[in-house]
Amino acid sequence: MPPDTGPETSGSEEESPRARSSVTPPKGAPTPKRSEAQANRRQPYQAPADRKAATQQSRQRERTERIRKSEALQRGESWALPPKDRGPVRALARDVVDARRGIGEYYMVMVVLLVVLLVIPGSATKLVADGFVLFLLVVILIEGWFVGNKVKRMAEQRFPGESTRGVMMYTTMRGISLRRMRIPKPRVERGDKV
């Protein structure tokens, strides 16, 4: 009787040759030469011999990294966001602001009109422009306060324990920027339910 080797072993226990790196692949092609095998191995970074080529290579690497990070920031990927934009509460604030149409959104357009009013000679136009600036500032602050409180209430319901510190200012600042200029880009359309 043959010696007992333990429980029955099946062919499924053996690993396929591709799964184990110590097993050579089946022959179908000639064995590569040592120089070819060494060339295929991953090599550590070797700096170019001259400084000019090294500088160009470094600039190219930095440029591609900047472009990659900028595109990720535009898409709103969390790894590329600056610390002020990170977190679920800030994402909620962005979505709430982006889903509504606010007065603050047209702030920049109104500023251009105010500059034109200030250039026109006459004290009456300057007085009207000053009054308009104050009115616009008050309206933007009130709108920011209402939207910020709405975001805080929603964040406390959806994300209990998350900090809502600075959310009111964040919503106000996002609310006064033109929709096309917002970074990260809006994820929701106007009128969407958040």
Please report how many Cα atoms fall inside a 13 Å half-sphere around the Cα of residue 108, on the Cβ side: 11
Q: pLDDT band for position 149 (50/70/90)?
A: very high
Query: What is the C-alpha to C-alpha distance for residues 184 and 95, in angstroms, rounded to an integer?
Result: 11
Give the pLDDT mean for 145-152.
96
Q: Give the chain's mean pLDDT.
A: 84
| Alpha-carbon distance values, 147 to 33, 85, 99, 115 (Å) | 69, 17, 11, 28
Residue 104 contacts residue 176 (beta carbons within 8 Å): yes
Q: Is the pTM of this model over 0.75?
A: no
Q: pLDDT band for position 61 (50/70/90)?
A: very high
Give the pLDDT mean for 175-182.
90
For residue 17, what pLDDT is reported? 46
Whether the predicted pLDDT of 21 surpasses 70: no
Whether the predicted pLDDT of 78 surpasses 70: yes
Q: pLDDT band for position 45 (50/70/90)?
A: confident
For residue 5, what pLDDT is reported? 52
* pLDDT tens string 90-147: 999 999 999 999 888 888 888 888 888 878 888 888 888 888 888 888 999 999 999 9
Read off φ and ψ for residue 109, nearest 5 degrees.
Answer: -65, -40
